[in-house]
Chain A
Amino acid sequence: MKPAPFRYADPLTLDEALAVLSDEGEGAKVLAGGQSLLPLLSMRLAAPATLVDINRVPGLDTVKATGDGVTVGALVRHARLLGGHPDAMAAARVQPLLARATANVAHPAIRNRGTTVGSIAHADPSGEMTSVLALTDGSVTVATPNGVETVGWRDLFVGPLETSVHGPAIVTSAFFPALAAHSGTAFAEVARRKGDYAVCGGGVVVTLDADRRVAAVRAAYVSVGLTPEVHDLTDAVIGQPADSADWAAAGAFARTLVDPDTDLHASADYRRLLVGVLTERMLAEAAAEASARVTGE
């Protein structure tokens, strides 16, 4: 349970970090929060030749909330997006899903160290933030020696623990677009122990029209499927009043759309059942919030 030997660099600028990544080639890996990477190293599931630790690179630890959305820098720890932190409150006003999902990410000690962007770049199908990026139709900014590019979530997630980011490249931030008007969100998980990887989890966005009738319903799940996917559940409840819509029907519809796997912790059938139950619960909650936002105008 000790990492295999590697070389280590902790560059002081982004350019320097990209230069080391270029020099070291294929075997180099970026280290940010390390809360997923270090267990992989200790279990020898990964043995990179070089770790490029970006923790000393300045400018990557900012949370910027504007009317368009929330930009989270690569060194922003999960804890920053939670609770009483001023950054969290500013972000929650623009996109409440961020804090809601982050509350389900691991335990306090992990959240103090792990980063939101690192968890996205890690692309674990049981990670929360990958699903939030998808559900909000977000993107990441990737720095390479040739410049900076923006990659949308659909092009980012290739497979479990695999993204389209290759070669000397660093994901420097993630952008979560603002929640649309007349919309509400919810996020929920079932886990064996609070903070553990979810057996099944998910988030929803419900959008109403001015008469508080359902206009759009989207959902994304955690620990269900190999890569994040956004499911459109609108057809099950379209036009129904927010306070009496048939959310159970939307939950039942969601069950037909997902394709979970069986593992040690749960069968595929049980996961599908949880998708239905959680979806129904979350939609009622999100619709109530959306309804309050229509009133608030």
Chain B
Amino acid sequence: MSTDTERTVTLTVNGVPREATVPVRRLLSDALRHDLGLTGTHVGCEHGVCGACTVLVDGAPVRSCLMLAVQVDGHEVTTVEGLAHADHQGGQVLHPVQEAFRECHALQCGFCTPGFLMTIAAGLEGRDNSAELTEEEVDDMVGGNLCRCTGYANIKKAVHHAAATMRDSE
């Protein structure tokens, strides 16, 4: 079989079919930002430590700096731009986690926020919200994301707030 240095990748991003022709070494994070113009995904450390670039691939949170764009060919990617949903009146309704971040003042400079939002949204959607959310579970959920402003207290508060909202709406 042949090897390639460039590929055309077809994927679904936030429910929209997209296509990009990229060098095979293109990181998913860079493909989202540079090739697809979705700059909501932030790039911090570029080696998997900070979590700012976290996106969902087929529904599961992953570091987009630790995947190649060619690896998501045929897959579904959700970025922070896909978290809110349309309200059918031309506006958008924030995801409960976004709402909780605003409510609890869980961001300051905002650089790390997209990664936190994606991580927490997937974390809460993937669990049984009728079960009590423990501090240990919250630590495990957000432990892989770095924030240099908030000191994490309000972020953890927002996780509990969002969990409560999601539980009430179930």
Contact = CB atoms under 8 A, between A and B. Distances in A.
B25 A4 contact: yes
Nearest to A37: B66
B119 interface: yes
Main secondary structure of the interface of B (DSSP, over half): mixed
Contacts of B54: 109
Interface stretch (A16-24, A182-190, A203-211, A215-223): A16-24
Interface string B30-68: 100000000000000011100100100100111101111
Q: Which of B27, B30, B63, B67 has the most CB of A within 10 A?
A: B63
B3 A9 contact: yes
Interface in A1-32: 1-11, 16, 19-20, 24
Given A7-B5, A10-B70, A35-B66, A109 B51 contact: yes
B23 interface: yes
Interface stretch (B12-20, B88-96, B139-147): B139-147
A194 B48 contact: no
Contacts of B82: none
Contacts of A43: 47
Given A2-B27, A10-B70, A39-B66, A112 B47 contact: no
A161 to B, nearest CB: 16
A9 B1 contact: yes
Contacts of B57: 113
Contacts of B119: 108-109
A35 B49 CA distance: 11
Nearest to A40: B47
Contacts of B51: 107, 109
B143 A194 contact: yes
A109 B63 contact: yes
A41 B1 CA distance: 23
Contact of A109 (B1, B61, B139): B61
A107 B144 contact: yes
Residue picked from A1, A109, A112, most chain B C-beta under 10 Å: A109
Q: How large is the interface on B (under 10, 10 to 19, 20 to 34, 35 or more residues)?
A: 35 or more
Given A2-B30, A6-B24, A113-B62, A42 B139 contact: no
B81 to A, nearest CB: 18
B148 to A, nearest CB: 13
B128 to A, nearest CB: 9
A38 B3 contact: no
Contacts of A11: 1
A163 interface: no
Given A8-B3, A20-B1, A38 B67 contact: yes
B7 interface: yes
A195 B145 CA distance: 11
A110 interface: yes
A166 interface: no
Contacts of A8: 3-5, 7, 24-25, 68, 70
Nearest to A113: B62
A110 B48 contact: yes
A106 interface: yes
Given A108-B144, A194-B140, A19 B1 contact: yes
Contacts of A1: 46-47
Given A39-B47, A108-B141, A7 B3 contact: yes
Given A6-B24, A10-B70, A53-B71, A110 B140 contact: no
A50 B63 contact: no
Interface of B: 1-5, 7, 23-25, 27, 30, 46-48, 51, 54, 57, 60-63, 65-68, 70-71, 119, 123, 139-141, 143-145
21 contacts: A2-B46, A7-B24, A8-B4, A8-B7, A9-B3, A10-B70, A11-B1, A34-B71, A38-B47, A43-B47, A50-B3, A51-B24, A51-B68, A107-B51, A107-B144, A107-B145, A108-B123, A108-B144, A109-B62, A109-B63, A113-B67
Given A8-B68, A53-B68, A195-B140, 11 more contacts: A6-B24, A7-B3, A8-B5, A8-B70, A10-B71, A108-B61, A108-B141, A109-B62, A109-B144, A113-B67, A193-B143
Nearest 3 A/B pairs, CB to CB: A107-B144, A7-B3, A8-B24
